[in-house]
Amino acid sequence: MYVNKFSAFLLPITMATSYFFLFFLFPRYLFVKKQLQFILYAVYTFIISLFLIVLSILYGLVFSVELTQENTVPLTKTFPFIILGVYMVVLVVIVFGLMLYNYKSVANSEDLKNKFLQTQLQLKEQELKFLKMQIHPHFLFNALNTIYGFALLKEEEVPEMILKLSNLLDYILYQIEKPKVLLEEEISHLEDYISLEKMRFHDTLQVNFTKEIEQQNVQISPMLLIPFVENSFKHGQLIKGVLQITIHLKVDKNNLLFTVKNASKNKEDLKKGIGIENIKKRLEIMYAEKHELEIIDENKTFNVALKVVLGNSKRK
């Protein structure tokens, strides 16, 4: 059919119209939510393209020898179909282009999301490393002060205290670099620390440490419990010459519950101490949606209650 002869004349305007929509009108106006401007320029594009299509058809008539042959279908009967065909091709190209654009956008979005999550993870790891590093001088300073005081008095407990401190230093210098340690290791070093404090306080310290361990081989973040106990010794108040501290640890298959209770003094210091702030930040990183920390300061007592969801269980 001789209408096909116009393809060569219509191809440039078809391609130009399609590309103009895909690479100019859509990204500059539609994708940035400038709908009114997009509609206005789309109407202009339609009018101009229609004019050029008609011009291309008329130009093709001049060079179409077949139009002079007999029994040829008059162009007026195929003219609308030629224009419709051109816009159908433009529509197909635009739809295909939009699908490709959408696919690339989704892929780029996922790529950016993954990069963002990777960056966030790296920042969290760096922050966690920094928080762990803070524990070293803070804990060491308190322990060395205790031994120094005993050394001045030439007490017999100094060698034993140094041995326990050596074990604690080994724990905080090497084990703390691990993301998780066995709960029994944390308990063992917690008891060593309590023993050090008992040597320092002598008969002025009463610690009641009870444990209910129903689930074995539990792993937790290292130095997760010790800062709370350390805080109770540092800021605890002597009542009738005795500092009383009650510690309770319960572990079942789903949760770890840890509570510390002591008579308090300098309440503002209790809440703003380095150890407490450090552990709060670490909990947010290590157990973001899997922990509850409650600190109650009333009736001359300071209570800390920590709940950590173990495994894949969701916080209730």
Q: 234-278 pLDDT, tens per residue?
A: 778 888 888 889 999 999 888 999 999 998 765 555 455 556 777
Domain boundary among 114, 142, 170: 114
Same domain, 219 and 276: yes
Residue 264 falls inside a structural domain: yes
Same domain, 13 and 103: yes
CA end-to-end span of the chain, whole Å? 75
Q: Which domain holds residue 31?
A: 2-114
Q: Say how many CA atoms lie within 13 Å of 174 toward its Cβ.
A: 7
Same domain, 102 and 162: no
The predicted pLDDT at position 121 comes to 64
Give the integer Cα–Cα distance in Å for 111 and 101: 15
Residue 315 falls inside a structural domain: no
In contact, 227 and 279? CB cutoff 8 Å: yes
Residue 38 falls inside a structural domain: yes
Same domain, 88 and 163: no
CATH number at residue 208: 3.30.565.10
Residue 110 falls inside a structural domain: yes
Strand 243-251 with 205-213, pairing: parallel
Residue 138 falls inside a structural domain: no
> Which residue blocks in 68-157 are alpha helix, DSSP H?
75-153
Same domain, 101 and 171: no
Give the integer Cα–Cα distance in Å for 149 and 155: 9
Q: What are phi and psi of 183, to 5 degrees?
A: -60, -35
Give the integer Cα–Cα distance in Å for 181 and 236: 28
Low-confidence ranges of the chain (pLDDT < 50): 1, 67-68, 70, 76, 270, 313-316
Same domain, 165 and 228: yes
Give the integer Cα–Cα distance in Å for 254 and 107: 38
Give the integer Cα–Cα distance in Å for 279 and 274: 9
Strand 243-251 with 255-263, pairing: antiparallel
**Tokens standing for 145?**
């002060």
Give the integer Cα–Cα distance in Å for 213 and 210: 10
The model carries a pTM of 0.57
Same domain, 96 and 180: no
Number of domains, the chain = 2
Same domain, 171 and 296: yes
Residue 45 falls inside a structural domain: yes
Same domain, 46 and 183: no
In contact, 259 and 247? CB cutoff 8 Å: yes
100-127 tens-digit pLDDT: 888 887 888 888 787 777 766 666 666 5
**Tokens standing for 274?**
């380095």
Same domain, 75 and 214: no
Residue 127 falls inside a structural domain: no
Provide the CA 248 distance to its chain's centre, in angstroms.
32
**Tokens standing for 9?**
């004349």
Position of tokens 């007026």?
76
Residue 124 falls inside a structural domain: no
Same domain, 201 and 296: yes
Any residues with CB less than 8 A from the CB of 29 and at least 6 apart, and which?
A: 35, 37, 38, 41
Domain boundary among 62, 94, 114: 114
Rounded to the nearest 10 degrees, the angle between the axes of helix 75-153 and helix 226-235 is 50
Same domain, 88 and 168: no
